[in-house]
Amino acid sequence: MVAAEIPDIVVGRLPLYLRALTQMASEGKLITSSQELGSRLGISPAQIRKDLSQFGEFGKQGTGYNIGFLAEQLRSILHVDQVWDVALVGVGDLGRAVAHYAGFLERGFRISALYDNDPAKIGTRIADLVIQDSAELVTDLRRRGISVTMLAVPATEAQAIADRLVEAGVKFILCYAPTSVRVPETVRVQYIDPVVHLQRMTYYRR
């Protein structure tokens, strides 16, 4: 049961499987198949079986997968059978919306710290959290042992803040700023830039 080297691209699909399974469970379904899951997600059944088989044997021939059991396994694999404390840096319009979003907790994350560098915002509250001064970022995150952060600052500030996050020992950064940041290999970054997604589509203008 030694963890083999799982391709990044496979890991990337696991959260989609988990999300679909959770949805099925909420619809009262108990069992599904690679066929059904695949048709919901637009992924081939063979690929789903292959992906899952990297981690174990979760299904039953002739029957399919127990939705609750498979979801539980995926939560464990993705390490979201626990709740991660997340710090959000940058409380502009987007940061505010993210801070208010209620959907994190049930999927393994809890926003538990907010930072901004605007004196007018520091000390005010959003969703029960006091906005703290970004100047305290490094000592504070380090002290609290927070390793997951979301970056919702302007693109021009993203690299500087990312450097501070790295300094604070942060391991995972979800970057909403429309720019790439450079970090050591020990730190992982994921990006969300709506314009990138839009441009990926308009290429296919007919």
Interface with its own copies (CB under 8 A): 11-12, 14-16, 18-20, 23, 40-42, 77-80, 84, 86, 92-94, 96-98, 100-101, 103-104, 107-109, 148, 150, 155, 171-172, 174, 178-180, 182, 188, 190-206
Q: Can you read off the two tokens belonging to residue 152?
A: 């919702």
Among 29, 50, 142, 144, binds DNA (CB under 7 A): 50
Q: Can you read off the two tokens belonging to residue 132?
A: 């703290």
CB of 192 to its own copies, least distance (A): 6
**Partner that binds at residue 40, options DNA, its own copies, none, CB closer than 5 to 8 Å by kind:** its own copies
Task: Quickly count: other Cβ atoms within 10 Å of residue 94's Cβ.
Answer: 16
CB of 22 to DNA, least distance (A): 17
- The span from the CA of 63 to the CA of 141, in Å, is 47
Q: Can you read off the two tokens belonging to residue 123?
A: 């000390």
Residue pair 134/115 in contact (Cβ under 8 Å)? The answer is yes
**Partner that binds at residue 182, options its own copies, DNA, none, CB closer than 5 to 8 Å by kind:** its own copies
Q: Contact between 33 and DNA (CB under 7 A)?
A: yes
- The span from the CA of 65 to the CA of 49, in Å, is 10
Q: Contact between 47 and DNA (CB under 7 A)?
A: yes
- 31/41 with CB nearer its own copies: 41
Which residue stretch of 42-50, 100-108, 130-138, 146-154 sits at the interface with DNA (rule: CB under 7 A)?
A: 42-50
- The span from the CA of 22 to the CA of 14, in Å, is 12
Which residue stretch of 50-58, 71-79, 157-165, 185-193 sits at the interface with DNA (rule: CB under 7 A)?
A: 50-58
Q: Contact between 3 and DNA (CB under 7 A)?
A: no
Burial class (CB in 10 A: 0-12, 13-18, 19+), 55: middle
The CA-based dihedral angle spanning residues 82, 88, 93, 97, taken in that order and rounded to the nearest 10 degrees: 10
Q: Contact between 60 and DNA (CB under 7 A)?
A: yes
Residue pair 98/111 in contact (Cβ under 8 Å)? The answer is yes
User: Helices marked H in the chain — which ranges?
Assistant: 8-26, 34-41, 45-53, 67-77, 93-100, 137-144, 155-167, 194-202
- 44/199 with CB nearer its own copies: 199
Residues at the site binding DNA, with contacts judged by CB under 7 A: 7-10, 33-35, 44-47, 49-50, 52-53, 57-65
